[in-house]
């Protein structure tokens, strides 16, 4: 079993000075913590993997393809592989668990 604590993952991500920390990688998936502060711009490009976002804190909007939705703590968003997507209008620091399948390359 592998178990993680969000507060420890956030501390590790912040210490490494990056927006994304991959903390689990298995044959069929990878999982990471993504952070965008209020007012920040999301510079993601489409990925070759399906993604699931689980918002653990913060508020923003996300556009996936041509659809836009407001997200906050507890929101879950599926993003198909190859589809353009971005968080925007980030009004509260955003922390998101990201699951890639297959694993992010």
Measured CA to CA, the distance from residue 18 to residue 39 in angstroms comes to 16
Beta strands of 1-105 (E only): which ranges?
Answer: 20-25, 30-36, 50-64, 67-72, 76-79, 85-101
Contact yes or no for 13/21 (Cβ under 8 A): yes
Q: Which of 41, 33, 45, 44 is nearest to 88 (CA)?
A: 41
Q: How many CB atoms lie within 10 A of CB 25?
A: 12
Res. 105 pLDDT band, cuts 50 70 90: confident
In order of their start, the domains of the chain are 6-101 (2.60.120.10)
pTM to 2 decimal places: 0.94
Q: Which of 29, 76, 68, 34 is nearest to 52 (CA)?
A: 76
Res. 1 pLDDT band, cuts 50 70 90: very high
58-88 per-position pLDDT tens digit: 999 999 999 999 999 999 999 999 999 999 9
């Amino acid at each position: 079993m592998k178990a993680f604590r969000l507060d420890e993952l956030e501390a590790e991500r912040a210490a490494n000075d990056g927006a994304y920390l991959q903390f689990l990688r298995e044959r069929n998936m990878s999982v990471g913590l993504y952070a965008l502060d209020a007012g920040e711009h999301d510079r993601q490009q489409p990925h070759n993997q399906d993604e699931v976002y689980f918002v653990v804190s913060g508020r923003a909007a996300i556009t996936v393809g041509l659809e836009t939705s407001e997200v906050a703590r507890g929101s879950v968003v599926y993003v198909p592989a190859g589809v353009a997507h971005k968080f925007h209008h980030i009004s509260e620091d955003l922390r998101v668990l990201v699951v890639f399948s297959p694993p992010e390359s």
